[in-house]
Amino acid sequence: MAKLSLNMDEYLPLRDVVFHALRRAILTGELVPGERLMEIHLAQQLGVSRTPVREAIHKLELEGLVSMIPRKGAMVAEISEHGLRDVLEVRRALDAFCAELACERMNDREKERLKEAYEAFAKATETKDTTVIAKADVDFHDIIINSTGNERLISTINNLAEQIYRYRFEYLKDESIHKGLIAEHKMLMDAIFSKNIEEAKRAASTHIDNQEKSILSQIHFKD
């Protein structure tokens, strides 16, 4: 069982604090796919009653991060090949569209921030800390996404964020791909800066293609 803890600094109801703690543990791999989620054990470990744990598990089930198995109860959802392909298929299309819009709409301040985020990501890979690297990767892509100024598009991507993060985290565990990722980020950034729409869309799609190939080579799926 993972060593779970609550961030009691969060100004949230206890049930939400528990929810965020369990979700974070699943996304970062502290709670592994297929692991049973025993309410009483989780409650004891977190120092809370079973009620907020039960509510958190239900919310995690709605997000697709927990599965309810007959006669077994709640388990961390497996990372399935079908689920991976579904999520990345959508992300590939959305990222390419974001790259296109960023070529047309990104302002000078956002370009400066993107360059800083690119450099921060490169530096983050030196830490060998997957959580730090994942945050830097999210920061880089969020600048591109937000530069589109399309609230519906931004909202759609945010709704997929947690599922995407789970796959992103698995991908970034492989240190051998970090240099390639830095190069891919630069290709995407340079294409946006030069307003080369076709090159930006291609770079965004290639980035996702390589992510899919890497994850497929790393994980034994249960499909």
Confidence at residue 129, expressed as pLDDT on a 0 to 100 scale: 92
Is the pLDDT score of 1 beyond 60?
no
Q: What is the mean pLDDT of residues 57-75?
A: 90
> Where is pLDDT greater, at 10 or 20?
20
Q: How far, rounded to the nearest angstrom, does the alpha carbon of residue 113 sit from its chain's CA centroid?
A: 21
d(CA 46, CA 3): 9
Confidence at residue 142, expressed as pLDDT on a 0 to 100 scale: 97
Please give the model's pTM, rounded to 2 decimal places. 0.79
Contact 55, 19 (CB under 8 A): yes
Q: What is the mean pLDDT of residues 9-17?
A: 78
d(CA 103, CA 64): 34
Q: What is the mean pLDDT of residues 202-217?
A: 92
Domains of the chain by start residue, with CATH:
14-76 (1.10.10.10), 81-218 (1.20.120.530)
Percent of the chain with pLDDT over 70: 93
The pLDDT confidence band at residue 221, using thresholds 50, 70 and 90, is low
